[in-house]
Structure 1
Amino acid sequence: MSTELLDALLVLEKEKGISKEIIIDAIEAALISAYKRNFNQAQNVRVSFNPEVGSIKVFARKDVVDSVFDPRLEISEEEARLIHPNYQVGDVVELEVTPKDFGRIAAQTAKQVVTQRVREAERGVIYSEFIDREEDIMVGIVQRQDARYIYVSLGKVEALLPVTEQMPNEHYKPHDRIRVFITKVEKTTKGPQIFVSRTHPGLLKRLFELEVPEIYDGTVEIRSVAREAGDRSKISVYSENPDVDPVGSCVGPKGQRVQRIVNELKGEKIDIVRWSDDPVEYVANALSPSQVVKVLVNEEEKATTVIVPDHQLSLAIGKRGQNARLAAKLTAWKIDIKSESDARKSGLLAEEEKPQLDVFYSFDEDME
């Protein structure tokens, strides 16, 4: 038994990351339970398990007292001193009470408890590993799906992709490899439960960090992301280095970097704009590809009125208001869009002004 058990402990420690001490504690706890149950004993006992030689010893722990009321838990001072003359009232005496056939009974009874403790330890290891991966992306393999979730294998654990976090333009089949964003890791009685997303703005941010070296090394920063998954997204970027074009860095040579992200997101259109601490410039950039004539800012209400050429009004608003809605999410400013002619009628635009233009890039599968 000793060699097999010792080998098993070493394998568990090496392959599953569970320390030998945790398993030994579980075995000793199980042996105490087995002893009390199988030998109908209620005394306070300690089990000593030596994995090196496979020896198991059971010791009854008794308090040294003047008068014994329960011999299973107490021992008189006189009897204790027969064991060792230094014992006195208040000490604890340990007497070996190991039954002859305890090894066989203990192995049978403790197996289930030890297995459970090992399983709990494994779950703890998995939880510790994945809690550090929150707000990160991983590659998973689709296993199956039901009305509520798609189940995605992340190796040691199966993650849940809720219906609300699935992209509307995607269809998932078993064995498909997909990148998912880990939104939440929970500890439950059945083990760690991991929730993932394909629609979270963090997925887009992490994909850019993977594809754009300048973002990974901090030369270019992603300041904000606004996303309507499966349809269109806007991302604002910035660099303190005047020699670095943050928008061009994200686009990559011939659009290769952003094209890989578009492919990963099944054709989702991505607008890349330059971030600015000037709300006039930032809002104008965020409304691209529409041209902007003028931006009026209300600092107190954090609201802007944006004037665009008449022929670009529908472009600025976007289909079902999408362009304006994403620009407002991206900048965190309220945006009210007016045409040039309406602005003149209301006195917001007194004279002809040139459009405010900035570096902008929109990418989708239809662009070359």
Structure 2
Amino acid sequence: MTLPRAGSRSVSEPSTESLAEALNALCAEVGIPFDEMLHTVEEALAVAYVRAFNPPGIVTVKLDTVTGALDVTSRVLQPDGSQIGRTLPSEDFKRLAAQTAKHAVLRHIHDLERDKALREVSEHRGELATGIVDRIEAGTVYVDLGRAEGVMPPEEQIPGEQLQPGRPVLVVILDPQRNLRQAQVRVSRAARAFVHRLLEAEVPEIKAGTVEIKALAREPGLRTKCRYRALV
């Protein structure tokens, strides 16, 4: 099993006037609900406004999806517990708003693709996958599996085996793990499941279901013991 690679997308830098139109087109292309993307953009705009101008209170930014106008407001808590709302200037924020919206959209798409890749990997847990050794850091081998990155810590490696970056490697998928940058999954060449799947792939009787593996014991790099029985 080889996971498909994610396609790359680019989003041109829109003005606030064309932002709503660009969001509509992009949401239709990638299949994201418009309201979900708009909420993501407005939250990012509010954070960017606070960083740029540091106004008092809780800042909210609303994007007019027809005109592209920005409505920036803040709510300031008073000593008596009441809140006072006021409108904040947005003219000097428009250029930064367009850039912020662009990055928010790209980040949201990236997060969705990462989560989708994690779901796909979860569906293949316990299966063999062929990848390319990407790098080795502090004894951990990182494997390029396409849309996900395989992480093989030392305890999941065969003792004494020398894996080389750029070379193909066969692993068994164990479990996905979250990473903000990309989808990652723990993989192994030392687990019993690795040998179990190899036997299923290489022994015709096991693959055909006429022989069943009853027990499997393994000392990675040394020996493997297998107990099986014929079903017919």
Pairwise TM-score range, normalised by the shorter structure = 0.5 to 0.7
Deviations along 1:306-335, one digit per CA (max 9) or x if unpaired, are xxxxxxxxxxxxxxxxxxxxxxxxxxxxxx
* Cα distance between partner residues in 1 of 2:113 and 2:210: 40
Q: Superposition RMSD on alpha carbons, in Å?
A: 3.7
Q: Cα distance, 1:231 vs. partner? A: 3.5
Q: Identify if the C-alpha distance between structure 1 residues 214 and 49 changes in structure 2 by more than 3 Å, giving closer, same or farther.
A: farther
Runs of 5+ in structure 1 lacking a partner?
63-68, 74-95, 245-368
Aligned in 2, Cα 1:4/1:163: closer, same or farther, shift over 3 Å? same
Kindly indicate whether residue 131 of structure 2 is the aligned counterpart of residue 131 of structure 1: no
* Contact preservation (8 Å) 1:186, 1:193: yes
Task: Tell me if 1:23 matches 2:37.
Answer: yes
**1:321 alignment partner in structure 2:** none
Rate the CA distance shift 1:149–1:35 in 2: closer, same or farther, 3 A. Answer: closer
* Cα distance change, pair 118–236 in 1 and its aligned pair in 2 (3 A): same
Q: Which amino acid aligns with 2:221?
A: G
Aligned-partner residue type, residue 195 of structure 1: R
Contact 1:24/1:49 (8 A) holds in 2: no
Partner of residue 206, structure 1: 197
**How far apart in 1 are the matches of 2:113 and 2:129?**
20
Change (3 A) 1:19 1:207: farther
Change (3 A) 1:144 1:191: closer
Describe the shift of the 1:239–1:23 C-alpha distance in structure 2 as closer, same or farther (beyond 3 A). Answer: farther
Secondary structure of 1:174's partner? Answer: coil
2:85 is matched with 72
Any unmatched runs of 5+ in structure 2? 1-17, 76-81
- Given that 2:118 and 2:176 are in contact with CA atoms closer than 8 Å, whether structure 1 keeps it comes out as yes
Q: 1:21 to 1:218 in 2, by over 3 A?
A: farther
Query: Could you tell me how far apart the structure 1 residues matched to 2:46 and 2:57 are?
Result: 11
Q: Partner of 2:216 in structure 1? A: 225
TM-superposed CA distance for 1:182, in Å, is: 2.1
Amino acid at match of 2:68: S
Q: Which residue of 140, 143, 157 maps to 1:149?
A: 140
In the alignment, what sits opposite 1:185? 176
Q: Find 1:197's aligned residue among 188, 195, 199.
A: 188
Give, as a single letter, the amino acid of the residue that structure 1 aligns with 2:170: R
Match of 1:292 in 2: none
Higher RCO by CA contacts (8 Å cutoff, separation 6 or greater):
2
**How does 1:39-188 map onto structure 2 within 5 Å?**
40=55, 42=57, 45=60, 47-48=62-63, 50=65, 55-58=68-71, 70-72=83-85, 99-100=90-91, 103-168=94-159, 170-188=161-179
Question: Is the 8 Å Cα contact of residues 148 and 182 (structure 2) preserved in structure 1?
Answer: no
Whichever residue aligns with residue 37 of structure 2, its letter is I
User: Mapping of 1:198-277 within 5 angstroms?
Assistant: 198-212=189-203, 215-216=206-207, 218-240=209-231, 244=232
Q: Does residue 32 of the first structure (1) align with residue 23 of the second (2)?
A: no
Structure 1 length normalisation: TM-score?
A: 0.46
| Distance change in 2, residues 1:20/1:139 (3 Å) | farther
Residue correspondences, number: 209
Amino acid at match of 2:43: A
Deviation per residue, 1:87-126 (Å, 9 max, x gap): xxxxxxxxx9884565433113444444444433333223
Structure 2 distance, partners of 1:133, 1:117, is 25
